[in-house]
Amino acid sequence: MRLLLPGLTLWCIILLQFSSVARAQSSKLDPVSAAQAGPPGRSLSSNDALERRPTVALTLTDAETRALRNQPRIQAAQLRTQAAGREISAYRSGYFPQAYGNVTAVEANGDTAVAAGALTTSSISTRTAAGASLLQMITDFGHTSNLVHAARFQGKATAQNEETTRQAILSAVQSAYFVTEAAQSVRQTAQSVLDYRRLTLNQLSALAQSQLRSTLDVQFAQVLVSEAELAVVRAQTNVEKAQAQLTAAMGEEQAVNFTLQDEPLPAVPDPDPANYVAEAIADRPDLKALHLHSQSEMSQARAERDLNYPTLNALATGGEVPIHDSTIHREYGAVGVNLNIPIFNGRQYSERAAADNLEARAADKDASSLEVNIVRDVRMTWADARDAYLQIAVTQRLLEEANVAMRLAQARYDAGLGSIVELNQAQLNQTSALIGAATAKFDYQRAMSAFHFTLGDLH
């Protein structure tokens, strides 16, 4: 009888283990296969408020389209570009005739010949008159044309600033998209690890009740379950933060749960970054904007200098005076030219021209400084992208090695050759490898997005 009791106890434990395995079959028996199978049904940190949120399927292209449609920053940049175009038309108006209408009614004292405020003799007559005047600029020796050129350069610079804003928005959307994907993958992995550790705890508890395992093993398993629960809570919080960041990057406010579609991995950058540096110098819109701003200031300086030259205008006026005294005809009309020659204005024009020249030189220096930063940023983001690409293979290999070590530790523990400490350490290593493998792909995609933004070719 004493020989039969241990055997019966052992068979009861085996049946309990098989029943636990059957209950957990929907979630998988190990965290690796569970993480690869897909998201679990209801996670530890889910709640009714989160489940009531609308779920939106989203691709990266959809996110970019929504951002370019909704973001106030791109709309403000577009309005500034339109305003710069209107400035060009405003300066071009100097080429066209300027027409003015006049209506005058005067009641004057008799025999009035001189009025205050003028050195020339004036004649003030009682009258009511209406007419029009026409002013056509013949030449101002380049002042208007240089103003138009300055406005055109500034308009092009504003358009490049709009492109910089557009690429910055796309970069923010892509970064938030991949961060959200990584956070969701980590949450899925953490939930799978939690499910596996709960299963292990149930098995050890059943064995401990039959005195086949020590209570110390159960305590270690409980600690691991608590750590896994904490990891799930943190992973869910990170998902919430990432989705909020993605929502803000798209210029939206409503909180939703995004179901994101995986994007293909981009090609790895070339081993030599020299060509990328030249490409960035040629394509960066913010650098183009600084060069155009410098050209605009130089044209503005020439326009200020041209104010020192004469201005020749053609004049025409005509009208009718229905109420008048005997010294005025009923109709009037005249044509002529006027040459305006500036003589002295306290060096106003020359000082403004000098200030614009200094602004142009300052813009050139800003461009040189930006080129230095571009070279640095290209080399740094290139190194980050290649490092992230290499980490994909390394983390996958590390995961495979951690899985092998976990199986060996589990086998040693089941055979009574290893301790629970050894098994727990193997589980921790496997969890770390799972998270690293889950995020490596998205880290590479995010690094490539930052790299293309640095090159100025983010489309």
Interval 54-86: pLDDT, tens: 788 999 999 999 999 999 999 999 999 999 999
What helix, strand, coil percent values describe the chain, rounded to 5?
65, 10, 20
**287 and 329 assigned to the same domain:** no
Whether 312 has a pLDDT exceeding 90, the answer reads yes
Whether 6 has a pLDDT exceeding 90, the answer reads no
Point out the domain boundary residue: 296, 324, 341. 341
The separation between the first and the last C-alpha atoms of the chain, rounded to the nearest angstrom, is 80
Which pLDDT tens digit goes with each residue over 207-232? Answer: 888 887 778 888 888 888 998 899 99
Residue 243 amino acid letter: Q
Residue 421 has what pLDDT? Answer: 80
For the ranges 26-35, 60-69, 353-362, 409-418, the lowest mean pLDDT is seen at 26-35
**195 and 329 assigned to the same domain:** no
Whether 115 has a pLDDT exceeding 70, the answer reads no
Distance CA 26, CA 194 (A): 14
**274 and 383 assigned to the same domain:** yes
With respect to residue 69, please indicate whether it lies within any of the assigned structural domains: yes
Name the 3-class secondary structure at 243. Answer: helix
Residue 196 has what pLDDT? Answer: 85
412 against 16, higher pLDDT: 412
With respect to residue 127, please indicate whether it lies within any of the assigned structural domains: yes
**385 and 450 assigned to the same domain:** yes
Read off the tokens for 395: 């983390």
Name the 3-class secondary structure at 173. Answer: helix
How wide is the angle at C-alpha 79 spanned by C-alphas 255 and 144, nearest 5°? 165
E-assigned strand segments in 235-310: 257-260
**82 and 148 assigned to the same domain:** yes
With respect to residue 231, please indicate whether it lies within any of the assigned structural domains: yes
Distance CA 85, CA 78 (A): 11
Read off the tokens for 155: 């308009």
**84 and 178 assigned to the same domain:** yes
With respect to residue 9, please indicate whether it lies within any of the assigned structural domains: no
With respect to residue 17, please indicate whether it lies within any of the assigned structural domains: no
Q: Are strands 331-340 and 98-106 parallel, antiparallel or unpaired?
A: unpaired
DSSP state string for 389-442: HHHHHHHHHHHHHHHHHHHHHHHHHHTTSS-HHHHHHHHHHHHHHHHHHHHHHH
Identify which of 243, 248, 244 has the alpha carbon closest to the alpha carbon of residue 258.
243
What pTM value is reported for the model? 0.80
Which pLDDT tens digit goes with each residue over 153-207? Answer: 999 999 999 999 999 999 999 999 999 999 999 998 889 889 988 988 888 888 8
For the ranges 120-129, 134-143, 273-282, 431-440, the lowest mean pLDDT is seen at 120-129
Whether 12 has a pLDDT exceeding 80, the answer reads no
**247 and 303 assigned to the same domain:** yes
E-assigned strand segments in 284-394: 311-324, 331-340
- The mean pLDDT of the chain is 85
CATH of the domain at 303: 1.20.1600.10
Read off the tokens for 298: 């130089």
DSSP state string for 188-228: HHHHHHHHHHHHHHHHHHHHHHTTSS-HHHHHHHHHHHHHH
Which pLDDT tens digit goes with each residue over 394-414? Answer: 999 999 999 999 899 888 888
Domain hosting 443: range is 22-96+141-307+347-455
Mean pLDDT on 345-351: 91
Share of the chain above pLDDT 70, in %: 85
**337 and 371 assigned to the same domain:** no
